[in-house]
Homo-oligomer: A and B are copies of this chain.
Amino acid sequence: MSTVGLVGLGSMGFGMAQSLLRAGHSVHGFDLNPDAVARFQAEGGGAGDLEAVAPGLDALVLVVVNADQMEAVLFGPDMIAEELKPGALVVGCATVPPESARVFEDWLGDHGLLYLDAPISGGAAKAAQGELTMMASGKPAAMQAAEPLLEALASTVFRLGDAAGPASAMKMVNQLLAGVHIAAAAEAMTFGISQGIEPKTCLEVISQCAGSSWMFQNRGPHIVEGDYQPRSAVEIFVKDLGIVSDVARDARFAAPLAATALQQFLAAAGMGHGREDDAAVAKVYARNAGLKLPGDE
């Protein structure tokens, strides 16, 4: 059993820290929000100052928002990369451009550290159950060191190569599809409303037809119930489709559906719905067409 630090006790990270604890690891949780840290301590987790704790860690799992936050943790003022012991493992779970993953692998390698490129998929409930889907790529030593952690965190691990990069690339492809499909679900259900189809009927029928998607079946009920409590927020897709757009532009790859979906999430955020559930992208369509959604006055 390892001594593990986990940075980012948000909806995904908190459940992952719980899953690591449950598997018997000694886990220290870190977050800018002291309430999250206190809740984790109440579950039996450790806490403290990361700079002080780092030398005793076998592994540091980063469940932060983006590459900038990963860089700030590892190479910011506290230079945690210099505090970790030689051969320690860093696991990067944020959605980042593949090139960033390769840079982290290089930089951490220069400090004698292992890096696993390991983005996650599955949502908060699966994180807490230790049943995430993880896409992993990294040097064989990093993959081997990570095995006990992956076992605690994920029910499915795709091993995508022996260097950082491919796992983040695959995550981007998934986010491209996920983002387009959420916006498409919103476009379809509101188009249905414009044609007199109740969202509930639309959900029921389409779920059994060739037009269905994982996201249609998962987010559709949020629109039907008018429930925009965030399971995953609009801002997450502003971020992730932003990464897709940046990487696609660098590769001179024209991605018109991803670009269009991004505009719809941007409009949702611009309307003030950025922290609502991503199904709130339906509000952009409804406003543009003068339609009422379930739950509207």
Contact = CB atoms under 8 A, between A and B. Distances in A.
Interface of A: 98, 121-123, 133, 135, 156, 158, 160, 165-166, 169-170, 172-178, 180-181, 183-185, 187-192, 194-197, 201-202, 204-206, 208-216, 218, 244, 247-248, 251-258, 260-261, 263-264, 285, 288-290
Given A173-B195, A194-B251, 20 more contacts: A98-B195, A123-B210, A133-B209, A156-B208, A172-B195, A174-B210, A175-B211, A177-B184, A177-B211, A177-B213, A178-B210, A181-B181, A187-B255, A187-B256, A191-B244, A194-B253, A210-B215, A252-B289, A254-B288, A257-B261
Contact of A166 (B196, B251, B260): B196
A202 B263 contact: no
A286 to B, nearest CB: 10
Nearest to A254: B288
A169 B196 contact: yes
Nearest to A183: B257
A155 to B, nearest CB: 10
B180 A180 contact: yes
B195 A251 contact: yes
Contacts of A196: 165-166, 169
A122 B260 contact: no
28 contacts: A123-B210, A135-B205, A158-B204, A166-B196, A170-B202, A170-B206, A172-B191, A173-B189, A173-B191, A173-B195, A173-B206, A173-B211, A177-B212, A177-B216, A180-B180, A180-B257, A181-B181, A181-B184, A181-B211, A183-B257, A191-B251, A191-B253, A251-B289, A252-B290, A253-B285, A253-B288, A254-B288, A254-B289
